[in-house]
Chains A and B, each alone.
Chain A
Amino acid sequence: MFKFGFWLQRVAQLFVVLLLVTFGVSLLIRIIPVDLATIVMPVADETQRAAFRASIGLDKGPIGYYLQWLGNFVQGDLGKIYYSGGTETVSGHLIKAMPRSLLLMAYTQIFALGVAIPLGVLSAYRAGRRADRVISNTLFIFSSIPGFAIGLILIIIVGTKFAWLPTLGYATFSEGIWEHFKHMIMPVLSLSFGLIAQYTRLLRADMIASLREDYVTMAMSKGLSDRRILWQHVFRPSSVTLFTSAALSMGGLIGGAIVIESIFATYGVGFEIFAAIGGRQYIMLQSCVAVIALFYVFFNLVVDIGSGFVDPRTRDRRSNV
């Protein structure tokens, strides 16, 4: 098919972008005004430090260092975390952290969409009336309060005043499903408020536009019930926009998750980055940022392809750009 070449070109483009991104991050590590070997081995002598530099390619100049890092990265070696007592692999940490972050984001998206869809439909149906105004204004205020503030306020009220929920940590499924969700409720809530506001507004605007279409008048004149028209004729076309926007908000969500994870000590990828910066583990930082960029870029590609399949109109529009 003629579209195939277009996608191939896009994938090639993404690879170039990814290579440049990871190279940029590795350059960033190189311009740190501090000698990494000194950070890792504060008491070692010069020969030991030189050996360390050689082992991670720091003696090779920016491009050599990058290539060595990239070679290791592709093979799954993301570098090490250096403690005074020994080392741990970054990949080991990330394998533990990744599912937590992914679950957190998945719950957040599901919850946000679950709340936003009824709210958006309701406020589009009652556009301009009181219910719509109350919903829109409340959400506008919520959209301006950052997630971490909501998280901290939740900690004060739900966590310490009433002590209903644990304020720190994470529980795996094996520690009990209820326990798992108990630890997730507050982080998910604090991440989803902003998203709920964003989705509701989008859905409302899109549905109000759809409500003016001729086929809606047609459906009304056929005597279909309001409920049926709303969900089947108006919500369905609008949902594509909604889900695309949900996918696009992923970048902001990843950033927000760093703060939220560090507040609630969820030990996800965001927390690992936070820890890497605090502990001056710059190689870990480099690998973590690269992993996030990789995930983000491919996620966007999948969304692009997906929305092209769902709605052929976007496919043509995008290929024109």
Chain B
Amino acid sequence: METIKAIQTRRSVRAFKKEPVTREQLETILRAGIAAPSGGNRQPWVLIAMCDHLRLKGLVSLSPGLFSEPGAVIAICLDETRVTKTEDGEAESMVWMDLGGLMENILLAAHDQGLGACAIGSFHEQGVSLLLKLPPTLKLALLVSIGVPARIPICPKKRPIEELVFFEEYGGRNGH
């Protein structure tokens, strides 16, 4: 799929058919995810892919943002051993942008494979961390649900480009 077309046509798909995501599709998506750029090439992430029906059912009960059981879920974790901490012990903000880039790669790769996907931020962190048997050095950051779409939503209203994009300076309308 052509890249710009993929970006423009991707939607957040929340309803899935009861059909599996193949191992080949999942590996393609995971490899696209970890191809994302990261500050200092630290690659501060670990991904856990889940496809087992019973485990997914448990995950759905712990994750209000998962509206239905998808064919697969990828848990995106921040690897705190690869992160510089600020003076107050928080991970520096750059790593969250790194994870955002990885997430977008996953969403676009799923779309490229003819699948639907949605980034999920609503989950019970402690519960899902237990389910995934995460060590203390991994912080669960996001879930991405993936599956064969049952319904594809229409494009939501987007703010007009004139409100969001300027040239040369804030408010500038003339490009080169």
Asked if A and B are interacting partners, one says no
Measuring CB to CB, which residues of chain B are less than 8 angstroms from any residue of chain A? none
A contact set with B: CB distance below 8 Å: none
